């Protein structure tokens, strides 16, 4: 059976659930527009997504965690919701009367609380009555077209019983990572601070990542780097941020370097040659990006002979999990062009996937579900393919954006990203050491 839902519509539904796949159980055009056919294929299957299609081209339906049956009874489901699509955009209508969320009727298809019924009375019809059970606008939901051309029911693949990556969620683990970061020493004695460059499109959370790490070591939420939501980059300079261990503490052996957000159009965002100059250590802190062209070697402030401590030791791409699927080809090409330059310089690369809680309801409910969410893993695999980095080099994080207090589980994810950065910095210095050893051996 072929699914009538588009790939993007499936992703939009899965983003509300935190799950990876929808398995098609029932298709009315094949099995029949009858209650008997629906129950034969769907009873005792759960969770499910039911979808109706009409002659007007509307796509709409509902979700429930409860298994279908023919008991005639209402069943309670406080997670049930109805939905409709405006193009690829999902409109969600939560259940407002949970004890009556779903009703089990033998001669009908999916029956959502006397509000929406698909295959009503074993006919290719919709019953629609917004109000006491689900609030929705009928014109927005189905365009007041109650004739079905298709009805599909999908079983939702549940979250993984075991996380596919092991994370220890406790305060002892958090404290241990903070200590390892505080006392980290680069493997090259000429360098006192590891320099990590953050690269990504506008609005993905590069500045917010620094603010979040700074907050953890300050012990409260801070906002030193300019961050927020805007269609253009709020960071217009090359900035180097050193995290301090407490309010009056010493700088940590880590510098996070922030760049102007990448933009897909030519002449917008930082020039790729400026990125190259940052990697090589040529650009000074607070350099004002000029999208029309890179800083020339003759210009004031250009560092012609940078030391190893001025260069970038690890590059970290930052992407918004909720926007991976709509990344443009131009942005993908720009990221891959940067990656090729970084590869030529032998600099290790990571990828941070931010805003997982906005992309996945399961993670929004509990950040500890991040490695139990099949949907997040699917997004990480898509990011790996688009940027060209291995899945093992991708770390999902949640930045502090609206909170006033720190959360231990959020901190653990953020700190694990920093620990991985420092491990990759070690790889960079190991490679330099190996190269020097080879040169000495040749002589």
How far is the C-alpha of 89 from the C-alpha of 13, rounded, in Å? 10
Q: Other CB atoms closer than 10 Å to residue 56's CB: what's the count?
A: 11
User: What is residue 201's DSSP assignment?
Assistant: B
Give the containing element (helix H, strand E) for 196.
Answer: strand 194-199
Q: In the predicted model, what is the mean pLDDT of the chain?
A: 88
Rounded Cα distance, 75 and 58, in Å: 27
pLDDT higher than threshold 80 for residue 157? no
Domains and CATH numbers, the chain: 7-156 (no CATH), 171-442 (3.40.50.300)
Answer yes or no: are the C-beta atoms of 128 and 140 closer than 8 Å: no
Strand 287-288 to 237-244 pairing: antiparallel
Flag whether pLDDT at 437 surpasses 70.
Answer: no
Binned at pLDDT 50, 70 and 90, residue 35 comes out as: very high
Q: What is the pLDDT of residue 394?
A: 97
Per-residue model confidence (pLDDT) at position 231? 46
Res. 137: pLDDT tops 90: yes
Instruction: Render pLDDT for 187-209 as a digit per residue (tens, 0 to 9).
Output: 898 999 999 999 999 889 998 99
Please write the tens of the pLDDT for every residue from 206-254: 989 999 999 999 999 987 766 544 444 455 678 888 888 887 788 999 9
What pLDDT digit, counting tens, does each position of 161-179 carry? 688 899 999 999 999 999 9
């Amino acid at each position: 059976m072929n699914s009538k839902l588009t790939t993007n519509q499936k992703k939009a539904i899965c983003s509300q659930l935190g799950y990876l796949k929808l398995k098609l159980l029932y298709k009315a055009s094949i099995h029949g527009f009858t209650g008997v056919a629906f129950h034969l294929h769907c009873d005792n299957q759960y969770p499910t997504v039911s979808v109706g299609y009409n002659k007007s081209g509307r796509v709409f339906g509902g979700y429930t965690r409860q298994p279908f049956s023919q008991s005639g009874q209402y069943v309670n489901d406080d997670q049930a919701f109805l939905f409709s699509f405006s193009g690829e955009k999902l409109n969600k209508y939560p259940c407002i009367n949970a004890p009556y969320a779903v009703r089990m009727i033998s001669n009908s298809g999916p029956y959502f609380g006397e509000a929406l019924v698909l295959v009503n009375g074993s006919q290719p019809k919709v019953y629609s009555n917004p109000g006491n059970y689900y609030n929705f606008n009928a014109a927005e939901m189905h365009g007041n077209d109650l004739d079905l051309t298709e009805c599909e029911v999908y079983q939702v693949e549940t979250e993984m019983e075991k996380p596919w990556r092991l994370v220890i969620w406790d305060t002892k683990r958090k404290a241990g990572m903070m200590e390892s970061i505080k006392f980290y020493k680069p493997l090259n004695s000429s360098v006192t601070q590891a320099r990590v460059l953050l690269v990504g499109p506008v609005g993905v959370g590069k500045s917010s990542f620094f603010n979040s790490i700074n907050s953890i070591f300050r012990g409260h939420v801070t906002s030193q780097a300019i961050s927020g939501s805007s269609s253009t980059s709020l960071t217009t300079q090359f900035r180097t941020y050193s995290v301090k261990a407490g309010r009056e503490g010493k700088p940590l052996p880590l510098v996070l370097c922030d760049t102007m957000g990448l933009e897909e159009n030519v002449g917008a965002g930082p020039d790729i040659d400026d990125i190259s100059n940052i990697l090589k250590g040529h650009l000074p802190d607070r350099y004002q990006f000029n999208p029309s062209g890179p800083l020339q070697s003759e210009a004031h402030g250009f560092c012609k002979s940078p030391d190893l401590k001025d260069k970038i030791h690890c590059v970290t791409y930052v992407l918004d999990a909720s926007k991976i699927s709509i990344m443009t080809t131009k942005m993908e090409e720009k990221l891959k062009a940067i990656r090729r330059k970084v590869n030529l310089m032998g600099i290790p690369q990571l990828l941070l996937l931010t805003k997982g809680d906005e992309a996945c309801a399961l993670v929004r409910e509990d950040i500890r579900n991040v490695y139990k969410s099949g949907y997040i893993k699917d997004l990480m695999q898509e990011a790996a393919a688009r940027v060209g980095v291995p899945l093992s080099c991708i770390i999902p994080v949640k930045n502090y954006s609206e909170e006033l207090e720190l959360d231990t589980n959020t901190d653990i994810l953020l700190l694990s990203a920093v620990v991985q950065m420092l491990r990759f910095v070690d790889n960079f210095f190991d490679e330099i050491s190996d190269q020097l050893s080879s040169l000495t051996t040749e002589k």
